């Protein structure tokens, strides 16, 4: 379908076909078919850049999904490199404080750590967390995820006391923000 759509000069048709193909690739990715999804996202990136431009929101989203899938397909170094390249584009197109840019910084730190560069991952999370707290707020799920990443990579870097302290500071916030609301049982009435 996508191949047929790209043979036309109708940009609207190409973009509609790309949206459908991207949904298929997302579902393939979600079910663990990373290699197939990776091929699809790679083809989609080229199409989106050609039809919509490198800074278009859809193109940036496709690049994000391509980088993410690359990591899950078993190539953390390539995922790290894709996120690093995406980050520079997002900073220009969206700004350094945009939530999508912050999410890319989180993924860059994650995949940096997955390549074995534990200290760099820890340092990236340490630089990211105060920005997220300022922009998104300390209770935002993305902030909490980065806070957990910082604690995790701090521990893996060998500073177990600092990791313990970070987890100890994070735990009450997570419990308050993420814990389900449990209704209080009614007070029994005395007869």
Q: How does pLDDT run along the chain (191 residues), one tens digit per residue?
A: 455 545 556 666 666 666 666 756 665 666 676 777 788 888 888 888 888 889 989 899 989 989 999 999 999 999 999 999 999 999 999 999 999 999 999 999 999 999 999 999 999 999 999 999 999 999 999 999 999 999 999 999 999 999 999 999 999 998 888 776 656 666 666 65
Separation between Cα atoms, residue 156 and residue 174, nearest integer Å: 21
Specify burial of residue 106 (Cβ count, 10 A radius: 0-12, 13-18, 19+). Answer: buried
Q: What's the predicted TM-score (pTM) here?
A: 0.80
Nearest to 121 by CA among 83, 93, 86, 89: 83
CB burial of 146-178 (b: ≥16 within 10 Å; e: otherwise) equals: bbbbbbbbbbebeeeeebeebbeebeeeeeeee
Q: Which two tokens stand for residue 184?
A: 């209080």
Dihedrals phi, psi of 19, to nearest 5 degrees: -65, -45
């Amino acid at each position: 379908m996508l191949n047929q759509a790209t043979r036309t000069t109708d940009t609207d048709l190409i973009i509609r076909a790309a949206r459908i193909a991207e949904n298929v690739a997302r579902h393939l990715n979600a079910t663990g078919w990373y290699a197939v999804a990776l091929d699809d996202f790679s083809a989609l990136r080229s199409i989106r850049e050609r039809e919509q431009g490198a800074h278009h929101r859809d193109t940036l989203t496709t690049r994000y999904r391509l980088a993410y899938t690359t990591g899950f397909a078993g190539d953390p170094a390539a995922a790290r490199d894709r996120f690093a390249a995406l980050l520079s584009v997002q900073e220009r197109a969206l700004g350094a404080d945009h939530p999508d840019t912050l999410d890319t910084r989180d993924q860059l730190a994650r995949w940096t750590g997955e390549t074995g560069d534990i200290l760099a991952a820890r340092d990236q999370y340490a630089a990211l967390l105060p920005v997220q707290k300022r922009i998104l707020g300390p209770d935002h799920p993305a902030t909490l995820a980065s806070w957990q990443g910082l604690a995790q990579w701090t521990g893996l870097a060998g500073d177990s006391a600092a990791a313990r302290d970070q987890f100890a500071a994070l735990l009450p916030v997570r419990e308050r923000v993420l814990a389900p609301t449990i209704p209080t049982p009614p007070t029994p009435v005395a007869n």
